[in-house]
Structure 1
């Protein structure tokens, strides 16, 4: 979940590696009108039905072997190759989500990669929905920056509490650095700003 006022993650939940993401997602509630954007790891039609029933929109990636039937097709333009209403046809998925879904097939002109999105939003145009999914990448960038700049290469302690403390200790300054970067008058690259702060951390100014 991304807060567009600050472009920072709203929450983080740390779990053991064996805990699947969808288990955590099902424990969460979102305000009505929220747009939940998730990758294919969260594709659970029962959960999507819950989001729909609570008045939330979702945008996710479709799996390549998803059985479905096209009900209606719409005009497309730009990078949008297909925009259609579908219903699921396999017994299990149809039982979990019996409503119409919107399926968008999209070609990214920059990378040449093709994506297939699923959503329950029929108000926004297909390009907007593709752009919304692209914004999800900001979360991946955030975690990449943590790995690059906070350098958690090994853990000082091996107990669950010690590991959590070290991860949170990296997460908190990363959030503060991202906040400073957004507020700074000078448009820093994050790596340059981190290097500058490291060099001047104990320098007396004034």
Structure 2
């Protein structure tokens, strides 16, 4: 799977056709097939430009992979197709890819960091009617998704569809409970999850976690542990729930320290077999999911939208994550660091693969020119 051809075969033509049959995605439209939408969106996303239906129309009509162009499709036809094509087909492709990569790449460390966070796309209320209302203008709508980043891969995604899920105490908890959480996973999440009862539920489910706690949160000290600089305190505590006079029965670990700017930080965890400094250092890795969100917004067009329907936006967001998974598989296999240059190299390798295919399909001798690649 180290070659670009191997990477692109993570989702095979057979996969696309089998899933299309299972979901009946081409039953009423044999021109703009699920496979054509899949390939067109992936190529468009990889171009790294501001996405639009006009660009997708041009890309499909000119030939997605530099081969024979497809029968002419129109801007309005693509727009209508995105409104009614089954988004569950693209979800199934995403799940298939996650399963393949999870099996192939396996667990990198003895303990696997599993980060959770949410991201929002803001849309004018004149464009889309069925989003959430999370601040901004009264007429604006937002599409909110919660993502689980396990090691380097976005292995779970959950669309927030209820207004109550504007609260992370609901949205992130539901995302975690619906994701696959293995026994070696350490969950990392921010202060959006703050209810004491939730931490007790995670402990009952044997979810290992590390999070931040607001400084000044009320707690009862169960036990005090010895510390050394820069750790201020290492405590076993029981938290108070809002309105409760007695602390909850769950014993958790509270670590207090000062950062380089002299600000006090509180970390909460149910891990007692690691040093306080190791806990603090692991929590810093939660930032990886922020870096991932920045990458897909700046390089894969995530903050843009192709459709005025929620169905079309679901299709597009799944395709952004599918494209990210394919690229990240290449990045991991080639042991490249960062995002910008590896993505550039990925696109170069993909273009070379297209040229190689054209040479071979035209009856040319690739061996005579392979030194140029």
TM-score tier, shorter chain, comes to 0.7 to 0.9
Q: Retained in 2: the 8 A contact 1:45–1:96?
A: no
Q: Retained in 2: the 8 A contact 1:60–1:118?
A: yes
Highest CA radius of gyration, 1 or 2? Answer: 2
What do residues 94-120 of structure 1 show as CA deviations (whole Å, max 9, x unaligned)? 7683222211012334x6543201112
1:10 maps to 155
Distance 2:217 2:287 in 1: 24
What do residues 160-199 of structure 1 show as CA deviations (whole Å, max 9, x unaligned)? 11111111111111121122111115x3542012224445
What do residues 115-172 of structure 1 show as CA deviations (whole Å, max 9, x unaligned)? 2011122221111111221111111111111011112343121111111111111111
What are structure 1's unaligned runs of at least 5 residues? none
Match of 1:55 among 206, 217, 220: 206
Instruction: Name the count of aligned residue pairs.
Output: 202
Q: Does 1:193 align with 2:338?
A: no
1:22 maps to 169
Cα gap change, 1:50 to 1:33, in 2 (>3 Å): farther
For the residue of structure 2 that corresponds to 1:11, the secondary structure is strand
**What pairs with 1:25-104 in structure 2 (closer than 5 Å)?**
25-26=173-174, 27-28=177-178, 30-32=181-183, 34-89=185-240, 92=243, 97-104=248-255
For the residue of structure 2 that corresponds to 1:146, the secondary structure is helix
For the residue of structure 2 that corresponds to 1:10, the secondary structure is strand
Which of 1 and 2 has higher RCO (CA within 8 Å, sep 6+)?
2
Cα gap change, 1:97 to 1:36, in 2 (>3 Å): farther
In the superposition, the TM-score normalised over structure 1's length comes to 0.82
Cα gap change, 1:91 to 1:14, in 2 (>3 Å): closer
2:138 maps to none
Distance 1:153 1:60 in 2: 27
For the residue of structure 1 that corresponds to 2:157, the secondary structure is coil
Distance 1:189 1:53 in 2: 37
What are structure 2's unaligned runs of at least 5 residues? 1-113, 115-148, 357-369
Q: Retained in 2: the 8 A contact 1:68–1:90?
A: no
Structure holding more helix per residue: 2
Distance 2:232 2:248 in 1: 25
Distance 1:42 1:100 in 2: 17
In the superposition, the TM-score normalised over structure 2's length comes to 0.48
Q: Retained in 2: the 8 A contact 1:33–1:56?
A: no
